[in-house]
């Protein structure tokens, strides 16, 4: 690479040339021209110093056409390179500020006609809202300037180079640059012009920038205006028609705060916005203002004087086809979906989003932590040596990034905290960023998780703190030092509001223990909730060799360095399908809480500021899952933070079955994000009478026997079940293995983990070590009673190759009053040292003439549930097709378990195959079930859904117990209460067939 070019791409200077100062993204009536659309495009494998392509007369007809905005690696079916996914790693040598000579470079060109009348403009501005990572601009062959900062807006003054009629703009984009070292976010590297390109005619006497700082106190609103304009632009008029505000400022010196009178405050629950304009004779700016005051009092974070609890998600800009290219319709639905699942906050990880997203956040209502485009995580590998965060040569780059972040988005009421960035170590440059923010915006506090000791931030923040650690942070009076803190630093941090900027890593099937974190928030006011990592998977739509579409992750594009499926860690799948974890989250953070006491229920409104006038409450009673009565519950309006007791309706009780009372809080009228009747919160109460558990019939006098036996509709050969009502069925087979979840596959760090964990080793590795994925059985005996032919007993010793560990399994089949009953006793040997994934029995159901295609059940549903993820589940009757019982996680893994099963019907083309009723064990515990087309072993071997083999057999697993889910892929392990240790278990079933 020529030295001139090497110096250019390796220069950390954030911008050069005719680059304009950062300012707000405003809705102006000044003339503008979108340059989005088809551009001519050429991709080179290396950077080049040649600029001939920028010349006006350059012949680009041999070039390809590419849409702007887009990422070139997502266009052309791989012809323009491939995406690269890394979490922490840099995909190039760590040699700051230098990057490799192999530096894919895209050259863009397009013609545009300058509209008539623009020659009267005072200034013509060319705006780029997002280019990754370093770009250089020419207009009509004249170099205008360059800029770095991929997710930041840059404006260039092109007044002297544009002309009436035809113009040509040329842009050169380098994938790698010095800026790449500070953009090491956990996401795909996707180069190109991926946000809007706009040309604007700035009028003489126009408004360069506006900031309407709003406040709310004692029912009244306040506006402090900051107007950036030439003296000739005045007078400037502020209008808020709905409030009767019309304030004219004759000169800049006249600009004073304005009392807006009585207003409705803005909050995430009631996002009240007022239309406002700021205008001169030449230009009018339209804004939507929300009145709210952000402050910290002691260790409380308050908006409008009330404590905020963040029920938030970390949100990347990600789409399986477009990457980070913004689509407003999709974004609006995405945010509406968040609202429907009780999400009230967004952390913009780890960069400013497209500016329209923040308009939507203002409108729909979210608390937003707006994060700067900054992460240097890859330097952690070397102990943070060379980290730009403490290098003076990078100071201006850091300050430029935070300036462009704050200035662009400062008018949004939804933004309540500024965040300096993410996982960039610490250092003087971060402290300088914080100092600049405090000087520029004294109202909104500064966040940065990496400031462990609280030297320059206003809130204490951690990621993936365990439940006990979070509780220690929340408690008063504790002298336990905090992470990386001295006692004095710990005391300083405990005096601040605390939030979990990342927790509950939602990778694959998980996380668990969401309810434990939520309980702490209500117990300790210093704790202000947090942000789940993360909202959605980042899968890129690809095609398998057999033509099957799938969502690709790291390594699927042949990357040399990648981080696998760690990019698939959202509560929403890549194709917008909510996972069970999202339903669990909705239930855990629901804003209305119910507590039953006899014939009354306490209704508590957990909202920040909204009362319950927008809700109505309905109830229903079910007997064994069948509705028998329903109605509306008359609940007086409950103010935010208050409770009210309500009398319950008479509940008809089933004399022998189960009686369940369900109460739901639903929207009384439609909201912009959900229809009337949308369920906001729900609770169930068990009103069943005590029913004795049928005793086990004890038999004596067993004798060895084998051969063929028929018990009711079941046929056995040498003690093994071979058919039910003439249909092939085999089992029960002991199943201790589950296809490891992403949490199961994650190594333990030994910190506050289960006492069965091994530091540095994953549970999945331990399970494979112990052979749980390859168990074999040796039949010890087959017995029949001496006096009757209505029972069969088998005893099996189950173990794995190269292991002395074993499990004894006794299965007793019997006819009890003409009904087929199975009792399985599972007893492990001594010597097991790790947790087990499950304790269950499996039946295999070959397709035959009519394949199994679904299930109906009475138990917990409708979605899957696990020991530490049960809050979204309710007791009732449910049905599902077999394929819908599982979740199509990007990497196949354990999925589909339904807990606390009472009755199950296996179906084929709508007809019953057989029915199962479970009986509780001596501790009152009921098993769960999983119905799948694949075995756990087949799921575990597949890296993607399309790699699963074609199946001609369905698998029914009845689990006495399952190990919890936890959050160990990036966070705490399964809580000890939900860890499954090897233990004796009993499964009792009644089976009907025929």
Q: Are 401 and 449 in contact (CB under 8 A)?
A: no
**In whole angstroms, how far apart are CA 964 and each of 18, 512, 980?**
58, 7, 7
| H or E stretch at 435 | helix 428-440
Side-chain-side CA neighbours of residue 584 (13 Å): 29
Chain center to CA of 803: 40
Distance in angstroms (rounded) separating the CA atoms of residues 710 and 266: 72
Annotated catalytic residue: which of 183, 283, 407, 423?
423
Pick the closest to residue 533 from 565, 572, 583, 561 (CA basis). 572
**In whole angstroms, how far apart are CA 621 and each of 414, 544, 563, 651?**
41, 48, 49, 7
Pick the closest to residue 102 from 75, 84, 89 (CA basis). 84
The reply to whether 827 belongs to the active site is no
Pick the closest to residue 987 from 735, 650, 632, 619 (CA basis). 735
Pick the closest to residue 742 from 541, 961, 544, 553 (CA basis). 553
Neighbouring CB atoms inside 10 A of 282's CB total 17
DSSP state, residue 191: -
Please, what's the b/e burial string for 498-517 (b: 16 or more CB within 10 A of its CB; e: otherwise)?
A: bbbbbbbbbbbbbbbbbbbb
Q: Are 270 and 610 in contact (CB under 8 A)?
A: yes
Please, what sign has the CA dihedral across residues 756, 762, 767, 771? Answer: negative
Beta strands in 161-283 (DSSP E): 165-174, 187-189, 192-193, 197-202, 209-217, 220-228, 236-240, 245-249, 258-262, 274-279
Neighbouring CB atoms inside 10 A of 611's CB total 16
The reply to whether 423 belongs to the active site is yes
Distance in angstroms (rounded) separating the CA atoms of residues 250 and 256: 11
| CA end-to-end span of the chain | 78
Q: Are 753 and 789 in contact (CB under 8 A)?
A: no
Q: Are 821 and 713 in contact (CB under 8 A)?
A: no
Distance in angstroms (rounded) separating the CA atoms of residues 735 and 512: 23
Annotated catalytic residue: which of 75, 155, 471, 502?
502
Strands 415-419 and 367-371: what pairing?
A: parallel
Q: Is 766 helix (H, G, I), strand (E, B) or coil?
A: helix
Peptide bond preceding 235: is omega within 30 degrees of 0, i.e. cis? yes
In the chain, % helix, strand, coil (3-state, to 5) comes to 15, 40, 45
Distance in angstroms (rounded) separating the CA atoms of residues 642 and 482: 33
Q: Is 813 helix (H, G, I), strand (E, B) or coil?
A: strand
Give CB contacts under 8 A, 24+ apart, made by 488-494: 489/452, 489/453, 489/454, 492/453, 492/454, 493/452, 493/453, 493/454, 493/460, 494/299, 494/460, 494/526
Active site residues: 423, 502
């Amino acid at each position: 690479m020529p030295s001139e070019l090497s110096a250019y791409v390796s220069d950390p200077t954030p911008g050069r040339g005719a680059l304009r100062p950062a300012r707000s993204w405003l809705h102006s009536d000044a003339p503008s021209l979108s340059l989005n659309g088809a551009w001519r495009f050429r991709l080179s494998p290396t950077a080049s110093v040649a600029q001939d392509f920028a010349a006006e007369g350059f012949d680009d007809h041999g070039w390809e056409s590419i849409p702007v905005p887009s990422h070139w690696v997502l266009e052309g079916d791989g012809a323009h390179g491939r995406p690269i996914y890394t979490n922490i790693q840099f995909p190039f040598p760590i040699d700051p500020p230098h990057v490799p000579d192999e530096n894919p470079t895209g050259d863009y060109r397009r013609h545009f006609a300058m509209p008539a009348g623009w020659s009267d403009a005072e200034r013509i501005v060319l705006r780029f809202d997002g280019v990754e990572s370093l770009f250089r601009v020419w207009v009509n062959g004249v170099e205008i300037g360059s800029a770095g900062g991929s997710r930041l807006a840059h404006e260039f003054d092109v007044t002297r180079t544009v002309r009436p009629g035809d113009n040509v703009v040329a842009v050169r984009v380098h994938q790698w640059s010095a800026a790449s070292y500070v953009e090491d976010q956990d996401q795909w590297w996707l180069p190109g012009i991926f946000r809007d390109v706009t040309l604007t005619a700035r009028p003489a006497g126009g408004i360069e920038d506006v900031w309407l700082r709003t406040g709310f106190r004692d029912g009244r609103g306040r506006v402090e205006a900051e107007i950036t304009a030439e003296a000739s632009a005045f007078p400037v008029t502020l209008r808020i028609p709905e409030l009767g505000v019309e304030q004219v400022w004759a000169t800049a010196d006249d600009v004073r705060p304005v009392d807006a009178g009585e207003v409705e405050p803005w909050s995430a629950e009631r996002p009240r916005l007022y239309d406002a304009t700021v205008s001169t004779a030449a230009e009018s700016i339209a804004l939507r203002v929300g009145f709210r005051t952000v402050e910290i009092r002691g260790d409380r974070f308050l908006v409008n004087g009330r404590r905020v609890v963040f029920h938030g998600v970390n949100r990347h800009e990600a789409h399986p086809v477009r990457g980070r290219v913004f689509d407003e319709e999709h974004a609006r639905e995405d945010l509406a979906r968040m609202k429907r699942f009780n999400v009230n906050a967004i952390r913009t990880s780890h960069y400013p989003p497209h500016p329209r997203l923040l308009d939507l956040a203002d409108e729909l209502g979210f608390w937003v932590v707006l994060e700067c485009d900054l992460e240097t995580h890859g330097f952690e590998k070397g102990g943070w040596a060379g980290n730009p965060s403490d290098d003076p040569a990078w100071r201006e780059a850091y300050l430029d990034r935070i300036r462009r972040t704050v200035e662009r988005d400062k008018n949004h009421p939804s933004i309540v905290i500024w965040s300096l960035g993410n996982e960039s170590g610490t250092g003087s440059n971060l402290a300088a960023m914080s100092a600049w923010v405090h000087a520029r915006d004294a109202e909104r506090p500064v966040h940065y998780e990496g400031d462990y000791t609280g030297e320059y931030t206003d809130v204490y923040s951690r990621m993936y703190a365990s439940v006990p650690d979070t509780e220690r942070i929340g408690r008063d009076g504790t002298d336990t030092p905090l992470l990386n803190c001295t006692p004095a630093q710990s005391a300083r941090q405990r005096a601040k509001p605390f939030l979990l900027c990342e927790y509950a890593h939602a990778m694959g099937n998980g996380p668990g223990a969401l309810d434990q974190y939520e309980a702490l928030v209500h117990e300790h006011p210093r704790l202000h909730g947090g942000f789940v990592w993360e909202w959605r998977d980042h899968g890129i739509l690809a095609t398998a060799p057999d033509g099957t579409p799938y969502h690709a992750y790291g390594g699927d594009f042949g990357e040399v360095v990648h981080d696998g499926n760690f990019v698939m860690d959202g509560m929403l799948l890549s194709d917008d399908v909510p996972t069970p974890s999202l339903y669990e989250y909705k239930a855990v953070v629901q804003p209305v809480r119910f507590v039953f006491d006899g014939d009354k229920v306490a209704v508590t409104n957990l909202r920040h500021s909204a009362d319950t006038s927008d809700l109505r409450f309905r109830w229903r009673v079910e007997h064994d899952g069948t509705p028998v009565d329903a109605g509306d519950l008359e609940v007086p309006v409950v103010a935010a933070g208050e409770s009210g007791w309500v009398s319950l309706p008479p509940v008809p009780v089933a004399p022998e079955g189960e009686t369940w009372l369900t109460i739901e809080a639903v929207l009384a009228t439609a909201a912009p994000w959900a229809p009337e009747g949308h369920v906001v919160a729900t609770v169930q109460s068990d009103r069943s009478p005590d029913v004795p558990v049928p005793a086990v019939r004890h038999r004596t006098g067993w004798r060895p026997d084998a051969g063929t036996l028929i018990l009711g509709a079941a046929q056995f050969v040498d003690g093994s079940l071979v058919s039910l009502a003439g249909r092939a069925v085999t089992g029960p087979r002991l199943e201790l293995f589950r296809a490891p979840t992403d949490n199961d596959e994650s190594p333990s760090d030994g910190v506050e983990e289960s006492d069965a964990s091994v530091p540095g080793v994953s549970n999945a590795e331990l399970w494979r070590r112990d052979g749980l994925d390859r168990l074999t059985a040796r039949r010890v005996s087959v017995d029949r009673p001496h006096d009757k032919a209505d029972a069969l007993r088998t005893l099996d010793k189950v173990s794995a190759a190269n292991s002395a560990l074993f499990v004894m399994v006794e299965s007793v089949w019997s006819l009890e009053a003409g009904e087929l009953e199975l009792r399985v006793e599972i007893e492990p040997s001594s010597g097991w040292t790790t947790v087990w994934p499950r304790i269950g029995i499996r039946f295999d159901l070959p397709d035959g003439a009519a394949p199994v295609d679904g299930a109906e059940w009475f138990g917990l549903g409708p979605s899957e549930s696990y020991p530490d993820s049960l809050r979204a589940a309710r007791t009732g009757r449910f049905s599902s097709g077999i394929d819908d019982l599982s979740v199509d996680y990007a990497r196949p893994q354990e999925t589909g378990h339904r807990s606390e099963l009472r009755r199950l019907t296996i179906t084929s083309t709508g007809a019953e195959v057989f029915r199962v009723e479970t009986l509780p064990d001596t501790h009152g515990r009921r098993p769960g079930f999983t119905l799948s087309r694949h075995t756990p072993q087949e799921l575990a071997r597949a890296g993607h859904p399309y790699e699963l083999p074609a199946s001609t057999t369905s698998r029914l697993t009845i689990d006495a117990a399952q190990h919890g889910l936890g959050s160990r892929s990036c966070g705490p392990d399964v809580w000890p209460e939900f860890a499954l240790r090897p233990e004796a278990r009993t499964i009792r079933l009644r089976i009907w067939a025929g």
